[in-house]
Amino acid sequence: MGELEIEKHTQFITSIEKKKDFDSMVMEHLRMSGAYWGLTALDLMGKLDAVDREEVVSWVLQCQHDRGGFSGNIGHDPHILYTLSAVQILALLDKLDAIDADKISAYIEGLQQEDGSFAGDEWGEIDTRFSYCAVCCLSILRRLDKIDVGKAISYVASCKNFDGGFGCTPGGESHSGQIFCCVSALAISGALTHVDRDLLGWWLCERQVKSGGLNGRPEKLADVCYSWWVLSSLTIIDRVHWIDKEKLKTFILDCQDKEHGGISDRPDDAVDVFHTFFGIAGLSLLEYPGLKPLDPAYALPVHVVDRLIFGQPHKQQP
């Protein structure tokens, strides 16, 4: 088993700008998420100093719209996905005071529907991914009271399936990515009683295949990104010891490009910043030496969440 190539991965993440290919082009509209993946991965490796924080903050702020939401890049429309990424970046960099939290909260509040679900933007696509974005974002901003949390919880709970997993809407197939969103949203809003931990835990540990990697659904291929979606869910429901951690660690490390840095979905595939983050995040949850611990629900380093929850006085209290 190889080791985690921290220096190479740092180099890969900070040099993405020099690449000139199709992947960079399609990243344009989701640059905010790209930045969140890259910066969080750097912080987990203790390498956040490799970037100029002020420059990042200035760019993030330029992506905020009058309505309060953030877009994936300058000149694009706001969306709840990028609003969460922006707030996570600012939390990571300890710059939440640079934004008007009430304005962001009002934007998110406006996306909640009558049944408790959330739309991704004004065009109304509904998905439990957006329930997670709303709850996580407002919790970071200490403004969960701005939405109807009870209804948000019951919508997420209505997406639970007979196998213990969750889908994107009621009746949608259980999928590890959606399970992460639903379980995390329920965890943040203190409603984990809606999760059947043992049934879901068994479904999640069945996702480990012979190679040691994890898949997202039955009969699908293993992919490094599920190291995050499955592991974080298992960690939240306290069942991570049900899988073979050593085999998973080996699988993730085998997906590294040891020459140029970066992590891919499967061994010998092309690397990208998305899988680099999820690989490092997975290793952090597996307590890989030298990596900072990551909070499984907020998807932020534990020291950041500690600062958010314990480090600041509640602004609404006298």
Partner 1 sequence: MSSSEDDEEEVRVPLSQRQEWSDVEPIPQDDGPDPVVSIAYTDEFRETMDYFRAVFAADERSTRALELTAEVIDLNAGNYTVWHFRRLILESLQSDLQEEIKFIELVANKATYKNYQIWHHRRWVAEKLGTIATTSELQFTQKVLCLDAKNYHAWSHRQWALQALGGWENELEYCRELLEVDIFNNSAWNQRYFVITKSPFLGGLQAMRDSEVSFCTNAITKNPDNESPWRYLRGLYKGNNEAFVNDPAISKVCICVLEKNRNCVFALSLLLDLLCYGFQPTPDLNRILSTWGFSGSDQKYANFVCLILEKVDPMRARYWIWRRDSLPSHIC
Q: For residue 180, what are its two tokens?
A: 């992460």
User: Of the ranges 100-108, 144-152, 156-164, 285-293, which one interacts with partner 1 (CB under 8 A)?
Assistant: 156-164
Q: What is the dihedral of CA 283, 288, 293, 298, to 10 degrees?
A: 10
Using the rule CB under 8 A, is 276 a contact of partner 1? no
In the list 28, 115, 145, 306, the residue contacting partner 1 (rule: CB under 8 A) is 28
User: Of the ranges 119-127, 130-138, 255-263, 295-303, which one interacts with partner 1 (CB under 8 A)?
Assistant: 119-127
Using the rule CB under 8 A, is 94 a contact of partner 1? no
Q: Which residues fall within 8 angstroms of residue 112, CB to CB, at 6 or more apart?
A: 118, 134, 147, 148, 151, 152
Residue 75 or 293 having the CB closest to partner 1:
75
CB 284 within 8 A of CB 44: yes
- Residues in contact with partner 1, counted by CB under 8 A, come to a total of 66
Radius of gyration of the chain (CA): 19
Using the rule CB under 8 A, is 301 a contact of partner 1? no
- The one-character DSSP state at 145 is G
Using the rule CB under 8 A, is 38 a contact of partner 1? yes
For the chain, the 3-state helix, strand and coil shares in percent, each to the nearest 5, are 55, 5, 40
Residue 1 or 314 having the CB closest to partner 1:
1
Q: For residue 99, what are its two tokens?
A: 């934004």
Q: For residue 315, what are its two tokens?
A: 């602004």
Residue 216 or 279 having the CB closest to partner 1:
216
Nearest to 175 by CA among 221, 131, 138, 230: 230
* Farthest-apart Cα atoms in the chain, separation: 56
In whole angstroms, what separates CA 167 from the centre of its chain? 17
Using the rule CB under 8 A, is 197 a contact of partner 1? no
Rounded to the nearest whole angstrom, what is the least distance from the CB of residue 318 to partner 1 in the complex? 38
Rounded to the nearest whole angstrom, what is the least distance from the CB of residue 107 to partner 1 in the complex? 16
Residue type, 72: G
List residues near partner 1 by CB under 8 A: 13-14, 16-21, 24-31, 34-35, 38-39, 51-52, 55-56, 58-59, 62, 71-77, 79, 121, 123, 125, 161-163, 167-169, 171-175, 201-203, 205-206, 208, 217-220, 239, 241-244, 247, 273
